Amino acid sequence: MKNKKESIKLIEKLLINIGEDVTRAGLVDTPKRCVNMYEELLSQTGVDPKYEINTFFESENEEAILVKDIQFYSLCEHHMLPFYGVCHIAYVPSNKKITGLSKLARLVESSSRRLQIQEDMTLMIANALEEQLSPKGVYVIIEAEHMCMAMRGIKKIGSKTVTSKKTGIFLEDKDLVKDIEYKIKL
């Protein structure tokens, strides 16, 4: 984060404007903690997550690979409130090119640590896989709960937003899509 000292002052100012006494014991270190927290939660701002896909292997098995229920936490760009849930990633390799399974989890992690909307995060993950693996197709699904819908506004607790992005073979092969969705239990 640029200019941490100034950021701490700005959070302090925000607390004062809310009507808080920033000298009371519980709040003395809050601006600093808050800035450190944003630094951690938004650490991948401006970083292209595709570089997490940086090891490549060969496999004779060219069937779809699915890693499901990859947990993540992100912040929505409209309210800076958390949205969180799971991401499922499926891809069908091309030219025997695959990546490590943990790299898919790292891709989700990097994609989540920034201000955004769920729709764009889904696209970002699909694009990264397309660029790094040139697969026959990818199918990315994110299921998330948005605190901005649960805590404020419409106050719908427990509702889930599901977004997806399909490319290549997943746009054509309905049986393959069904098979992946069955495995995810969508």
3-state secondary structure of 77: coil
Residue 175's contacts (CB-CB under 8 Å, 6 or more residues apart) are none
User: Which one, 79 or 97, has the nearer CB to Zn ion?
Assistant: 79
* Beta carbon of residue 146, minimum distance to Zn ion (angstroms, whole number): 6
Residue 115 binding Zn ion, by CB under 5 A: no
Number of residues that bind Zn ion (CB under 5 A): 4
Question: Contacts with Zn ion in 51-80 (CB under 5 A)?
Answer: 76, 78-79
Tokens 């090891």 correspond to what residue? 55
Q: Which residues pair with 72 in a beta bridge?
A: 85
Phi and psi at residue 141, to the nearest 5°: -130, 135
Q: Are 74 and 82 in contact (CB under 8 A)?
A: yes
Instruction: Return the residue of 148, 161, 168, 181 that touches Zn ion, per CB under 5 A.
Output: 148
* Beta carbon of residue 84, minimum distance to Zn ion (angstroms, whole number): 12
Query: CB under 5 A: which stretch of 3-11, 53-61, 148-156, 172-180 binds Zn ion?
Result: 148-156
* Beta carbon of residue 90, minimum distance to Zn ion (angstroms, whole number): 27
Q: Which residue is nearest to Zn ion (CB)?
A: 148
- CB neighbours (10 Å) of residue 30? 17
User: Which one, 33 or 78, has the nearer CB to Zn ion?
Assistant: 78
Side by side, the strands of the sheet bearing 65-76 are: 115-116, 65-76, 82-92, 137-146, 161-166
Q: Which residues bind Zn ion (CB under 5 A)?
A: 76, 78-79, 148
